[in-house]
A and B are shown apart, each in its own frame.
Chain A
Amino acid sequence: MSTKVSAKVNELKFSRHLTPFRGDGGFAKQILQQRLDQPQDLDLGLANWLKEMRQDGIDRIANLSIPNPKDEDWKYTNLAALQKHSFQTCQDTLIDPNFAQYVTDRILPEAIESHITMIDGVFVPQMSSIQNLPQGVIAGSLVELSRHGKFELLRSNLDRHLSQHTDAHDYFATLNTACLSDVAVVFIPKGVVVEVPIQFVFATSSNLSGVSTISQPRCLVIAEANSSLTLVETYIGMSTEPYFTNAVTEIWLGENAQLDHIKVQWEGNAAFHVGTTSIEQSRSSRYKSQAITLGAHLSRHNLNVQQAAEQTETDLNGLTLIACQKLADTHSSIEHNFPHGSSYQLHKCIVDDQAHAIFNGKIQVAKDAQLTDSRQLSRNLLLSSKSRVDTKPQLEIFADNVKCAHGATVSQIDADELFYLQSRGINIESAQNLLTYAFAAEVIDKIPVGSLRATLNSFVLAKMQTLLC
């Protein structure tokens, strides 16, 4: 099956992508060969459905090229280093006890009965717990749910939403679909309010067995009309060796539904992380997100919001905190397609050493999206002379009666603020940490989960000087 994908096909069909990588140099092909096998006892309906989804992905990726710096959207993020590796899927089901402890420690106390853990893309029942959720709520691994006969129940929603909210031409989202083996699903029926946060932990064990691994988590959230949920996605890896996480999360919000969505990317320091988050919002729905980027050698977050009806609210908050030679790229887009939509976006980057942060925030206001109210602010703090930030607001406005504001700042720690703290006896390092913490707090303090807020705050406060490379 996978042999359909080849660099040669790409060259013929897409001559504009000939250089510098010539298609993807067999990158996708190699990964497709590494897909997870389906379990023997898999529900037949699900097995066939997965096959169809995969085939669709395989057909599409044959016509796609891995992004390269000649693409405007990938200008600063060169994937050459990623392509040097040949990643393997970890089929090993044994979990190292240290690693298990590491993962367990990241489970939020608030989600002690509402979390799912997937390691290397495989659901781990002994590290997951879904209990006492309101009637009708479905949460868990699709493979596991199908064992309890719930696949058919979810089928129509899966068909309607899975792979429907991502860009069909997106290379990494398509690669994820082409390798689809399981889906972390949350389904909230009409009018249900889930009080506890639901947490998805996606961990990559990497190199514990001596290989660079790939995991491709897939997440689907369906929140029906008038429902409400807080979702935390945690991406972690303990290894200091390279591994690759290619994650896709699709979210559909029904009328007047509300989602608080927190994504914490805390991958290992040599990891590659590409995450695609796609949201479609129905009328009067509210989507709030806090995307926190702390880990990975190279990371890219694509965050795409479609306002698909009137009077929707979108609130995106981002914090990138990186050091050493890390690169973290956030590309967001908010599409205002209908009247009375609003969006508020705050993206903050703190960059130390030779690290490089990128932010591209696209706001599209369609002709019909009158009375849109949109604000975007990108604020960046450079902590060293070799750190770098590229930030770009991108507003495309076709309606004529809208409010759209945007701004960007790049600064260093203010010398007078430092002196103020020093004059109170606080030494220069602590003063720098405190001011950096204060800069980050504006985003972190919006996280509605107390324990996560505390963890992140203490991380920022204590670890600024000792960020591991």
Chain B
Amino acid sequence: MSTALVLDRVGKRFGTQQAVADMSLSITPGEMVVLLGPSGCGKTTSLRMIAGFLQPTSGDIRLDGRSILPLAAHQREMGIVFQSYALFPHLSVARNVAFGLEMRRMDRPAIDARVAEMLQMVKLETFASRLPRHLSGGQQQRVALARALAIHPRLLLLDEPLSNLDAALRLEMAREIRLLQRERGITTVMVTHDQTEAMALADRLVVMRDGHVQQIGRPEDLYERPANPFVAGFIGGSNILTGQHESGRLVLAGGGIVVLTRNAGIGLATLAIRPESIRLAPAGTAGCIEGEVELCTYLGTAIEHVVRLDPEAAVVVRGPGLGADAARRYDPGTRVALSWTQADERLFNAEGRPLPMMEPNEIKQGEKEWTS
């Protein structure tokens, strides 16, 4: 019953603007794939092309091997959950869920049974006769989910389904969606700009930027082996430092000099280093670079320092805020030494490709995945 989705070099052009370029993606039955990227990266455009609201200007989209491009949106049998929930305001919760079934001309008893089943699934049985606007945001989103799943869709498409919910509800809803999706084994594509949300829900992530796919992979692949500085910055919020790379040192544009943990070639290079990977020590201690603390913020579970390296570059450093290994707090103005281990240091060449870091064979394996 699950469906395989293939995007085959799909492109979408609006006038002179290439919203999505040559996007290829193969999703296996039952898989949940999240399209992730900043606004304007083409993720929503891609989802709308799958849904049939937009027609690609090039490439093909196939479900179980058959192109769906000739099908109009209302013939594609997709269950879509929208950011704004998009419930029908004039219909009760039950009628909302029944809508797709009515379109399929099912008989009334079958519709009623299915609606009851779906409402039970999202734990809203007692709300059947309410109107959507008398429901909370989370409840409305669950109705939207029930409505989308009621029709046994071939694909479930989620367009920023959590961004209108408050933080506490967001995690709960994310877990609920994930459980339902797993349980029913329904192939799902979700769009979001929130990397935490994406990591929590995805089997695989597709990071996009300016219409181009940056990297496709499991959350841990992207986190541990980002394909380029953009992915490194987007997933995990790495600090990105660009400079001239020569004999194991990175000379930043603003004059700061980072002593790298290894020596790998020369030329323009970008260093990505995660806030959690940097350790602070009093100035004078051996380290990769020294800087001056600009800001120290206590976040409960974490302590965050902003450290200025030179007039043009500053990095964020995050350490544990609690327990025995709680990070030491440095006052603004204090000089500190920054250090990290070789495993945490990601270097990219001028083209944005990762420079070898560990065993060469491991890199090759990774690269295959990035280009697939």
- Tell whether A and B belong to one assembly: no
Interface residues of B (CB under 8 A from A): none
Interface residues of A (CB under 8 A from B): none
